[in-house]
Amino acid sequence: MAAMMRLDKLLGHCGWGTRRQLKELCKNGNVLVNGRACRDSSVKVDPAADVISVDGEQVLYEQYSYLMLHKPAGVLSATEDRHSQTVLDLLPRTYQGAGLFPVGRLDKDTTGLLLLTNDGKWSHRITSPKKHIDKVYEATVDGIIPEDMEEQFQAGIMLADGLQCLPAHAVQTGANTVEITVQEGKYHQVKRMCAAVGLTVTALHRRSIGSLQLDSCLQPGSFRTLTEKERELPFE
Ligand code: URA
């Protein structure tokens, strides 16, 4: 049998409000458990078996969520911020109480594939440099692309502050575009690697993580859940 949990905890996880708001909702008879009004928000329910609804809307509980977001420019890869919009602000209410966080960070001006989850183990498997997962970026650059750029990246770039990067790939894809593949996620890594070879990044877009590509149907700012198969693609 699945673990029992408090009704208010389950509803909070699904974005139905704070503990106090849920107490009120229950008291007022808005919450049904298996078709009957449940006026006590502290009762234990079985998320796998009990049918729960609020104001006639069925509550679908999932312990873990796995989302792919097309991150737009101008939004922070954070869970909350007093001044700027965050990637969490782009999600609907049903994801607001589930403890989601971004899997690694993209800079505020970087666009593209950002994963969100509340599964710490899955996130760690993706972000740990020890797992050698390729993250592929398209960088638009200012400056003269050096002829030996590929070799410099392959040898491992030394950043301006002396930090040594792991070997990476850099391939020129257009007059001022470069495709860069890295397996780590140091602060401003791609921008600083480019700076080390004399290039200024003017736009940066992440296309893929392992074999998981950004869905081309997703407009900037929109998201979708990953299928079970897609959850394994970062590791392939
Ligand atoms: N490298 C950067 O410099 N910025 C990002 O957002 C991601 C990788």
Going residue by residue through the chain (236 aa), what tens digit of pLDDT does each one get? 568 999 999 999 999 999 999 999 999 999 999 999 999 999 999 999 999 999 999 999 999 999 999 999 999 999 999 999 999 999 999 999 999 999 999 999 999 999 999 999 999 999 998 899 999 999 999 999 999 999 999 999 999 999 999 999 999 999 999 999 999 999 999 999 999 999 999 999 999 999 999 999 999 999 999 999 999 999 99
Whole-structure pTM value: 0.93
Q: Are 10 and 123 within one domain?
A: no
Both 43 and 146 in a single domain? no
Q: Which of 24, 41, 58 is the last residue of a domain?
A: 58
CATH number at residue 229: 3.30.70.580
Compute and round to an integer the Cα radius of gyration of the chain: 22
Say whether both 197 and 143 belong to one domain: yes
Which two structure tokens, joined as six digits, stand for 185?
Answer: 């996620």
Domains in the chain, number: 3
pLDDT, residue 129, reads: 83
CB of 112 closer than 8 Å to CB of 72: no
Do the Cβ atoms of 129 and 185 come closer than 8 Å?
Answer: yes
User: Which phi and psi (to 5°) does residue 171 adopt?
Assistant: -130, 130
Q: Are residues 109 and 221 in the same domain?
A: yes
Best probe residue, ligand 1, of 75, 77, 106, 194 (max atoms within 8 Å of C-beta): 106
Name the token pair of 79: 């869970």
Q: What is the CA angle 111-114-120, rounded to 5?
A: 155
16 CA distance to ligand 1 middle (Å) = 35
Residue with CA at minimum distance from ligand 1 atom 4: 188
How far is 13 from 33, CA to CA, in rounded Å? Answer: 16
In this structure, are 110 and 166 located in the same domain? no
Query: Which residue has a Cα nearest atom 7 of ligand 1?
Result: 106
Query: Is the same domain home to 118 and 138?
Result: no
Q: Is residue 103 domain-shared with residue 164, that is, in the same domain?
A: no
Judge if 204 and 223 occupy the same domain.
no
Catalytic residue among 46, 107, 119, 215: 107
Residues 92 and 205 in one domain: no
Answer yes or no: do 97 and 117 share one domain.
Answer: yes
Task: Verify that 174 and 202 share a domain, yes or no.
Answer: yes
Task: Quote the ligand 1 centre to 93 CA distance (angstroms).
Answer: 29
Pocket of ligand 1 (CB under 6 A): 106-107, 110, 188-191, 204
> pLDDT at position 233, please?
96
Position 143 scores a pLDDT of 97
Q: Which domain holds residue 198?
A: 134-209
Task: Give residue 180 CA to ligand 1 midpoint distance, Å.
Answer: 11
Domain CATH number, residue 51: 3.10.290.10
DSSP-derived secondary structure letter, 89: G
pLDDT of residue 14: 95
pLDDT for 2: 61
Q: Compute, in angstroms, the gap from residue 106 CA to the centroid of ligand 1.
A: 6
Please check whether residues 120 and 231 belong to one and the same domain.
Answer: yes
Instruction: State the closest ligand 1 atom to the C-alpha of 201, by its place in the atom list counted from 1.
Output: 3
What is the best residue among 77, 105, 107 to mutate for testing ligand 1's pocket, by most ligand atoms within 8 Å of CB? 107
CATH code of 158's domain: 3.30.70.1560
107 is catalytic: yes
User: What pairing do the DSSP bridges indicate for beta strands 66-71 and 44-45?
Assistant: unpaired
Cα 217 to ligand 1 centre (Å) = 23
Domain end residue (candidates: 29, 58, 87): 58
Q: What is the pLDDT of residue 7?
A: 98
Measured CA to CA, the distance from residue 145 to residue 171 in angstroms comes to 10
Measured by CA distance, the residue closest to atom 2 of ligand 1 is 188
